[in-house]
Homo-oligomer: A and B are copies of this chain.
Amino acid sequence: MSSPLRLGVAGLGTVGAALLKLLDRQANALAERTGRRIAVMAVSARDRSKVRDLDLARFEWFSDPVALAGSPEIDVFVELIGGADGVARAAVEAALQEGKAVVTANKALLAKHGLHLGKLAESKGAALGFEASVAGGIPIIKTLRESLAGNSISRVYGILNGTCNYILSRMETEQLSFAQCLAEAQRLGYAEADPSFDIGGYDTAHKLAILTALAFGTEIAPDSIAVEGIEQITLADISAAAELGYRIKLLGVAARTAAGIEQRVHPTMVPRSSAIAQVMGVTNAVTIDADAVQELTLVGPGAGGMATASSVVADIADIARGLHVPPFGLPMASLTPPRRAALQTHEGGYYIRLSVYDRPGAAAAIATRMAERTISLESIVQRRRPGEQKGASAVPVILITHATSEKLIGEALKDVLADGFIAEPPQVIRIERE
């Protein structure tokens, strides 16, 4: 058996603690599978005195993760600190500078500095593994980088944030409001005290930026992503989706279109019979459309200490086995700047919920405005809410359009608004088909 692979682990939160336990538990199996023992030599965390369910006395302690990253005692630096900049970035750069392999679960770091870090790793001949940075325990990075090497990918999309999916799932199954489900998610530890990063779609956007680069061989471009969160989704939308054969999910979508690479994060109507619609609770899922394999979907835990540690260990095992693949699946210089498709050029179906003053001819006028923009309707539903009286000031009108463009939808809605039939701003949700 070869010499042990020596690790330094920085960050002992949920994932870091789970990683140390998993490496202990699987020590013999990993040695057998990789041909090397995997030995944690040193650790670093913000607070040494914090009570942890871990025996840390075995490891050298570094109060400075950057010093740990540069230590000659380690071969692999495992970064589980988090944050796009600051000490996480400094430590990862220090390790790569020394030619050490880096394994990280840090999506923010990758989304912001992945291009720079990939080039640094390449120039030093060092491995850079980040399986754990997207969709927790789901092996989506390896699948895109290795298993689909013979494919041309046209679209990758998925449920990449468990908090949002939990909230949307609970709203539907329990008929609770967004605010109630968010409070519940916070109570259960699925949502942060400040949940805006998750529910605003920004966490999904970081992960999507990484997937886009891998799928299309483009430089990471998080600023090209159109981001909308789930804060505006109401029970009325959830119920209307169910009635019309859809379910609402927060999706990250990257697609190759005639106009360029589309990257968008937003609440999405997916057909109720689709694989992605079945994914409930904190589970994540990613679907890839590609020319040879056609459609491939991976479903699994998107977060959690052990599930994320499983992906960290997968990267470590690859390094122990001597498997070395470029971080983004091809030489860094071959990554091309993405030709950004503006959201205005997006083509697809739309769900539109309007609150319409209950006057004769309102629905007909709306349908006419759509027709004037050549938008064809799959369905139009005007219905009073149960218990509502005829003559109520406003009634919901719900439209589902066939494929059209974002630009035409915007123009048609502007006309509808100008007609004065509408009591509230329209709710518009894009439809994503399999």
Contact = CB atoms under 8 A, between A and B. Distances in A.
Contacts of A325: 321, 323
Contact of A292 (B33, B278, B309, B323): B309
A306 interface: yes
Interface string A299-340: 111001011011111101110011111000111001000000
A352 B142 CA distance: 43
A423 to B, nearest CB: 38
Nearest to A305: B292
Most buried by B among A23, A293, A331: A293
A265 to B, nearest CB: 23
Given A150-B30, A150-B313, A299-B297, A292 B306 contact: yes
A313 B292 contact: yes
A151 interface: yes
Contact of A32 (B29, B32, B324, B331): B331
A301 B296 CA distance: 7
B298 A296 contact: yes
Interface in A253-282: 273, 275, 278-279
Interface stretch (A131-139, A186-194, A358-366, A392-400): A131-139
Interface of A: 18, 22-23, 25-26, 29-30, 32-35, 131, 137-139, 142-143, 146-152, 217, 273, 275, 278-279, 290-301, 304, 306-307, 309-314, 316-318, 321-325, 329-331, 334
30 contacts: A18-B292, A23-B150, A25-B152, A29-B152, A32-B330, A32-B331, A33-B149, A33-B329, A139-B146, A139-B148, A142-B143, A146-B323, A149-B313, A150-B313, A150-B314, A151-B310, A275-B275, A275-B278, A275-B279, A278-B278, A290-B310, A292-B307, A293-B307, A293-B311, A294-B300, A294-B306, A294-B307, A296-B300, A299-B299, A323-B324
